[in-house]
Amino acid sequence: MPCKLSPDGRFANCKCVVKTGLNFVLITSILNEKVYQETVAQCGSDGAGCTVDTVDTNPAPVCKAMQDGNLIPGAEVISDWSPDVQRLLTEGGTPPLTVCDKAPYAGCMTAPCRQTKDGYAECSCPIFWGIFQIFGEGAQCTLSDDLVNSASYDPVRDVLPTPTPTPTP
């Protein structure tokens, strides 16, 4: 769902679906600096040291902080990555990925949210300016009015253009 920029342009208000159970966090998007550093130290910058198989016996610091309510103190709900997208990535599927040029986007991964009466979450996501990636059929990098995408950036999934060889004389 697109997000609406706050009047000062520093945050976006985003409406998200709330899901319970196993969810995922993109390491490059952890908004709590201390927890980010602890997670990278334990799991590695690619997360390989903290797989789904090891979560129960060796939880990643970001997961523990979320479970304990310490990632973003005061948040009712924390925004993370749903198993729907993760399943496509781990089952050999490739969800449509669009890499967008530098522009503002809402960094909602690990952002604080409050749960609404209708079962959604309203999240306050910081605005970042840079290259970003979005999943989904027909994903658009540029939205109208004061709307921005909720997106992230994972260097591993970056699609860089292939350089054109320079002809030699």
pLDDT tens across 67-91, in order? 888 999 999 889 887 655 555 555 5
Q: What is the pLDDT of residue 18?
A: 84
Instruction: Name the most confidently modeled range: 51-55, 105-109, 130-134.
Output: 105-109
Phi, then psi, of 8 in degrees rounded to 5: -85, -5
pLDDT higher than threshold 70 for residue 39: yes
Q: Higher model confidence: residue 88 or residue 49?
A: 49
Sequence letter at residue 144: S
Question: Which H, E and C letters describe the chain, residue by residue?
Answer: CCEEECCCCCEEEEEEECCCCCCECCHHHCCCHHHHHHHHHHHCCCCCCCCHHHCCCCCCHHHHHHHHCCCCCCCCEECCECHHHHHHHHCCCCCCEEEEEEEEEECCCCCEEEECCCCEEEEEEEEEEEEEEEECCCCCCCCCCCEECECECCHHHCCCCCCCCCCCC
The model's pTM: 0.77
Q: How far, in Å, are 18, 21, 35, 84, 157 from residue 97 at the CA level?
A: 23, 25, 28, 14, 9
d(CA 83, CA 19): 9
Contact (Cβ atoms closer than 8 angstroms) between residue 38 and residue 30: no
The two three-digit tokens of residue 14, written as one number: 């985003």
Q: Is the pLDDT of residue 143 over 50?
A: yes
Are 149 and 141 a contacting pair, CB within 8 Å?
yes
pLDDT, position 155: 72
Banded model confidence at residue 34, pLDDT cuts 50, 70, 90: very high
Residue 101 confidence (pLDDT) above 60: yes
pLDDT of residue 153: 77
Domain chopping of the chain, boundaries: 3-155
What the block records as the tokens of 48 is: 């390989």
Q: Which of 18-22, 38-42, 99-103, 142-146 has the lowest mean pLDDT?
A: 18-22
